[in-house]
Chains A and B, each alone.
Chain A
Amino acid sequence: MALPKTAKSTLLQVALLISCVLVFRIIYIDIYLMLQQVANFSFTRQVAYFFNDYLALFLTVGCDVLAIWLLHKYFQYGENPFQRIVIYLACILVISAIGTIIVNHTILFGTLSPKEDGFQLLGSYITILLFNTIIIVCGDVLLYLKKSKNAIRIEGDKKRKAQYQYQQLKQQLNPHFLFNSLNILDYLVQNDEKQRASDFIKKLASIYRYLLYTGENKLVYLSDEIRFVNLYTDLLKERFTNGLEIHINIPEEYMTKQVIPCGLQLLVENATKHNIISQDKPLHINICIDEKNKKIIVSNNLQLRINPQSTGIGLKNIEKQYMDIAKKSIEVIPTTTEFIVKLPLL
């Protein structure tokens, strides 16, 4: 069975990379073992020489950092692995050569025999080579890990935003809300209540306009959101008449604070969705300010429906939005008599 072209290319790249690493490793280890046998090579001694030569040490580390930065800047991870690893190895070899020349500058111009010179230089070179390999590989891997961590975070944020926008979109097109609104409108028209029908249409249009224009915004002013909630509750009141009572008590100075768009409306909608609303048992929704904690409180008396279908996705989305935007969490306090949600004011 023939392999697909991409699989062949990946296999080829893997084979090339393995060969590169292998050749590098074999040469290194073979030289290391040869030096141990013929020249009594001491790795520790060579490391000590290198670390005692501050100029060589700092210059080598500086070159390593520069190489990591250039690799990170001009060669994307995973784009051309073979090319990148070859440049990688070239950097290590060249920087090690520079380090070796500086460490051994006295030997290079000294009086030792050519054979001793050669072993000393080679020993020094492979020691610095290992040092550079560790620095460059660790630095590059750490940079990649940092980059991927950022990418994961950004993707997570995008995902959550998309999820929230999807929820908002569903909200905009909520067939139940539209269906109920059209039923009410039909009722008003049938009863020849022209003014009420006209007001109702205008409010409905304003609601959709608000949803349309704030969909892209991360935050909205509290004054705009309260205006929107008022429009929304006016429509709900047409449906529930005296069964729904909404009290909004927000001091003027808080109107310039910001909240996430549709957050308050979603809480009002949740309250009407999960609780019984009737003239005998009216649902009271209160919207006020927690001045101490700088939060807006939405509370309602608890008279749960027998078969409430709740996934809690609305509250979770609000929570995620606040976490993403301001790293602040919302408070959900269910008691035996009340359901309270506190949203941070930003």
Chain B
Amino acid sequence: MNSTLKTNLIIHSFAIAHAITVIFLRQIDIADDIPLTVLTVAMIIAVGRVYNFPLDVSAALALLFCFAGFYMGTKGAEIIALINNGLLIPYANIICTVIVTEILGWTTALITRKHGSKNIE
């Protein structure tokens, strides 16, 4: 399996996992921020591993992206909730978490794919 395919698979799987987590935890009324953060960090490290990016730099990126994810997630959900007179409110968090995960995943892939040590080897 080549690196691009692996990256695609990881990012989309994690986006789906985020959506499932949001749906599931909403139903049992538990806060979803911690599981979502764990998934985001795991996704960033997994994408970094595909291109042999050092773990510490991946973790640093994860740290930054967690804040970015939190901000984009909360603001994004507010924006989505405004669309179509609030028609999307029940799905705002799910849509937003999928979009944010994809954005963070592809940003990580963009940074790691060109500079990971796989290129050096």
Contact = CB atoms under 8 A, between A and B. Distances in A.
Contacts of B119: 148, 152
B34 A22 contact: yes
B8 to A, nearest CB: 21
A149 B67 CA distance: 27
B120 interface: yes
A284 B62 CA distance: 66
Given A25-B63, A148-B119, A140 B41 contact: no
B55 A81 contact: yes
A81 B63 CA distance: 14
B66 A81 contact: no
Interface string B27-66: 0000001100110011001000000001111111111101
A27 to B, nearest CB: 12
A119 interface: no
A22 B44 CA distance: 13
Given A22-B37, A141-B111, A133 B55 contact: no
A59 interface: no
A255 interface: no
Given A141-B111, A148-B117, A148-B119, A21 B63 contact: yes
Interface stretch (A11-19, A209-217, A225-233): A11-19
Given A148-B120, A149-B115, A24 B63 contact: yes
A29 interface: yes
Interface string B82-120: 000000000000000000000000000001000111011
A110 to B, nearest CB: 30
A266 B5 CA distance: 42
A77 B56 contact: yes
B111 A145 contact: yes
27 contacts: A14-B42, A17-B55, A18-B38, A18-B45, A18-B62, A22-B34, A22-B41, A25-B70, A29-B33, A77-B57, A81-B55, A84-B56, A88-B56, A88-B60, A133-B63, A136-B60, A137-B60, A141-B111, A144-B54, A144-B57, A144-B115, A148-B115, A148-B116, A149-B115, A152-B120, A155-B120, A155-B121
